[in-house]
Amino acid sequence: MTETSVSAISDAIGGDRRQMRRRAARALVALLLVAIVAVLGIVWFADSERDRLTAEWEIRLGLVADSRKAAVEDWLNERRGEVLRLAANRTVQFHLVDLADPELAREETDSSRLYIEGLMTSEAERGGYLSPRGQVATAGHDTSAQGGLILLDASNNIVAQTPGAPDPTSLLPDSLRPGQVRVSPPFAAGDGTAMIALFSAISAPEGSTDGGIGLLVAIRPLGDDFFHRLEQPGDTTSGAETFLTDFNDSHIRYLSPLDDGAAPLTRQIPASMAERAAVALQGMPAGSGSFVGYAGDEVLAVSRQIIGTGWTLIRQIPSDQALSGGIRRIWLISGTLLLALLLAAATVVAVWRHAISDRLADAASNLSVALKESDRLSRLLRNVADAVPNGITAVDREEKVLFGNRAAFDHIGIPANEAEGMPLINLLGPGGSAPLHAANAMVREGHQTMRYVDDHGAGANRSVIQRIHVPLDDDGVLIVAENLTEIVVEREARAAQLDALVNVLVDLIDARDQFAAYHSHRVARLSRRMAEAMKLPRPQIVAAETAARLMNLGKLRIDPAILTKTEGLTPDELAEVRDSILHSADLVEGIPFDGPVVETLRQMQERLDGSGRPNGVSGDNLLVPAQIVSLANAYVALISERAHRAARTPEQALEQLWPEAEKTWRRTVIAALVQANDAAAEAESGGDN
């Protein structure tokens, strides 16, 4: 409000007291509108901050859930492999064929049956299905917690079994194809021990009848070797826990031990309204959200489906424990802003009430002061809004501007105060206003905040804008726009520069060794294909490819005569070559890569069994990208010609690498190499055709 308008209102007071009150009321309404916009901004800030904290926790929980899901699936795959190996045993197959021959006396099959029972007992002891020999159940001893292996014929009659094996009749599946392993839902033995059963149909040997001729049943207790896989190595998060569940139409069942002391399979809760969110979480292969946990408290959780089972892995943490620090900060900031707003509003109301008092003699002077104060506060609030770099615009149901700061209209050259009351289409044109109208319509219909990024144009005309549409009362909408163009362009440029630098270094390295030319490029391409075959997250895929390209950077410190030496290397020379990878990690340690590139280089010579170098890292502590690059490097080296030997064929290289499964490299990583190698061969074959 200008000085001229203040004088005009003061003059009007002398002629008409009622007109003065109406104008003062309109000024108060304008101030209240500004206050409402400010309050909505505070509420939006609090909601967005809570959403950000929740999203951060869901990412942290999801990383652990993905790791534990892989560990559980690895354990199940090991069990499936044991059952399939025994089901494919030729002695077992021919024994079932002999039993089906009515002309063959039973005495003639006794020797093979005794051999099969001995084989099954040995496999069961090694695989943890029953106690070692000398500890099997005896008469009068409780065998309810003991598993075992049972061989059935085509009529489900028991042909052979390990000592003390339980009766599998109630567990048998309806149908099963040969080569397929089915895992039963966990069940409780007589003493409460959690157990599972695995079933594999036995196919007829070559030359015999087609189809399944029997069934192998493996019943195994779920002990610490299984449940420890739910524990994340090095996890120190207080209150967080990971457990397994399954779900039917009426109950959620907890399959693993819980932090409150509940044993596996002893906790079961109905899927009442309080647990509906948990039920929804169960049904998604990778879900996340906030719901009521088994202890009745609100928790943040993510879920992952275990492939080949009806199990769901859930990683959760109490909401109040996860968000307590952030919520206190949100309340502190929001409370401070609200207090300041209330104080300003109280000041305006006090001035206004005094201005319309019955003392008409002082009304003109007092109201003039109040209006000036109101104008000052309005300018202050507008200055605060104009200082914000993000564009802020409030529109009514007819898409007319109620309020806007300077950043919202600077790009079209219209002052914010002149834009108020104008339709968006008049300010931005049909092309610029259409996306805003569409987003506002969706917000009004769903009464939910909407967030999206508008990335259009190219080169100097590129624009990346993030917009947030917040519903207001009376179908109004608050639009907050943030320009991310410089940030996005700078990030993409930095990534391109880093990639160019890596290419220069790789070319420089490969040029020093005629026998290893393009070795880094080949390893990098193979590493990327392997990482994609394993469906790793993008940062790990990029880390594997980048580490492969940089792994030979340390060879700059090696005498070229060693790299091109035609006879065998001495121990000292071999150690110098091996240490070059660690030198590579030292040289790039200060470069800000997006993924674990340096850590991958440092672990390339580590082994899965802990016998590697330099730190003896083993098991789950080994980075998957490090395993991928290590194996890809070994494979490319084997199929490449070197100064001291000829190149091997891909088949010879794979035959040499497979025995190192679960010793040097994970079996899944070697399988990814085979898959990537087959895909590359198929692509080359298609290209030739």
Rounded to an integer, the average pLDDT of 322-329 is 70
Q: Exposure of 387 by Cβ count < 10 A (0-12 exposed, 13-18 middle, 19+ buried)?
A: exposed
- At 65-89, the pLDDT tens digits run 999 999 999 999 999 999 999 998 9
Q: Are 667 and 657 in contact (CB under 8 A)?
A: no
Averaging pLDDT over each range in 1-15, 27-41, 295-309, 382-396, which range is the top one? 295-309
Q: How confident is the model at residue 570 (pLDDT cuts 50, 70, 90)?
A: confident
For residues 94 and 89, what is the distance between their CA atoms, to the nearest angstrom?
9
- pLDDT at residue 43 in the model: 73
For CATH 1.10.3210.10, the residue range(s) in the chain are: 489-688
CATH topology (fold) of 388-483: Beta-Lactamase (3.30.450)
- Enter the tokens of residue 129: 């299905």
For 225-234, 357-366, 476-485, 675-684, which range has the lowest pLDDT when averaged over its residues?
Answer: 357-366
For 111-120, 126-135, 567-576, which range has the lowest pLDDT when averaged over its residues?
Answer: 126-135
Average pLDDT, the chain: 80
- pLDDT at residue 7 in the model: 47
For CATH 3.30.450.20, the residue range(s) in the chain are: 88-227, 388-483
- pLDDT at residue 142 in the model: 42
Q: Are 528 and 649 in contact (CB under 8 A)?
A: no
CA 544 to mean position of chain CA atoms: 18
For residues 169 and 156, what is the distance between their CA atoms, to the nearest angstrom?
8
* pLDDT exceeds 90 at position 569: no
- pLDDT at residue 12 in the model: 47
Q: How confident is the model at residue 626 (pLDDT cuts 50, 70, 90)?
A: very high
* pLDDT exceeds 70 at position 283: no
- At 472-499, the pLDDT tens digits run 888 898 988 888 777 777 777 776 777 7
For 324-333, 441-450, 637-646, which range has the lowest pLDDT when averaged over its residues?
Answer: 324-333
- pLDDT at residue 348 in the model: 57
Q: Provide CB contacts within 8 A for 419, sequence distance 6+.
A: 401, 404, 408, 409, 427
Pairing of strands 463-471, 298-305: unpaired
- Enter the tokens of residue 1: 């409000």
Percent of the chain with pLDDT over 70: 79
Please list the alpha-helical segments (H only) found in 404-450.
406-409, 416-419, 424-446
- pLDDT at residue 556 in the model: 79
Query: Across the strands, what pairs with 216?
Result: 151, 200
* pLDDT exceeds 50 at position 689: no
Number of other residues whose CB lies within 10 A of the CB of residue 618: 14
> Amino acid identity, residue 364?
A
- pLDDT at residue 313 in the model: 93
State residue 277 phi and psi, 5-degree precision: -65, -40
For 355-359, 461-465, 585-589, 663-667, which range has the lowest pLDDT when averaged over its residues?
Answer: 355-359
State residue 267 phi and psi, 5-degree precision: -110, 130
DSSP-derived secondary structure for 587-610: HTTTS--SS-HHHHHHTTT--TTS
Q: Given 3-state DSSP classes, what are the helix, strand and coil percentages for the chain, each rounded to the nearest 5? A: 55, 15, 30
Instruction: Provide CATH code, domain 88-227.
Output: 3.30.450.20
Return the CATH architecture of domain 489-688. Answer: Orthogonal Bundle (1.10)
- pLDDT at residue 530 in the model: 95
Sign of the Cα pseudo-torsion (145, 147, 150, 156, in order) = positive
- SS3 (DSSP) at 191: coil
Tokens 């003699």, residue? Answer: 361
State residue 150 phi and psi, 5-degree precision: -130, 130
Q: How confident is the model at residue 578 (pLDDT cuts 50, 70, 90)?
A: confident
Query: Across the strands, what pairs with 404?
Result: 393
Q: How confident is the model at residue 311 (pLDDT cuts 50, 70, 90)?
A: very high
Query: Across the strands, what pairs with 455?
Result: 464
Q: Are 581 and 606 in contact (CB under 8 A)?
A: no
- pLDDT at residue 144 in the model: 53
Residue 4 CA neighbour count, 13 Å, CB half: 0
- pLDDT at residue 565 in the model: 72
- pLDDT at residue 137 in the model: 40
Of the candidates 129, 219, 119, 126, which has an alpha carbon nearest to the alpha carbon of residue 167?
Answer: 219
Output 30 or 543, whichever has higher pLDDT. 543
* pLDDT exceeds 90 at position 657: yes
Q: Provide CB contacts within 8 A for 600, sequence distance 6+.
A: 543, 544, 547, 623, 625, 626, 629
- At 148-206, the pLDDT tens digits run 999 999 888 999 999 988 988 888 888 888 888 999 999 988 888 999 999 999 988 87
* pLDDT exceeds 60 at position 577: yes
Q: How confident is the model at residue 326 (pLDDT cuts 50, 70, 90)?
A: low
For 174-188, 336-350, 443-457, which range has the lowest pLDDT when averaged over its residues?
Answer: 336-350
- pLDDT at residue 358 in the model: 52
Of the candidates 527, 535, 525, 552, which has an alpha carbon nearest to the alpha carbon of residue 626?
Answer: 527
For residues 165 and 583, what is the distance between their CA atoms, to the nearest angstrom?
56
* pLDDT exceeds 90 at position 139: no
Q: Are 392 and 385 in contact (CB under 8 A)?
A: yes
Of the candidates 190, 186, 131, 182, which has an alpha carbon nearest to the alpha carbon of residue 166?
Answer: 190
- pLDDT at residue 178 in the model: 83
Of the candidates 148, 144, 146, 152, which has an alpha carbon nearest to the alpha carbon of residue 162?
Answer: 148
- At 459-469, the pLDDT tens digits run 777 878 888 99
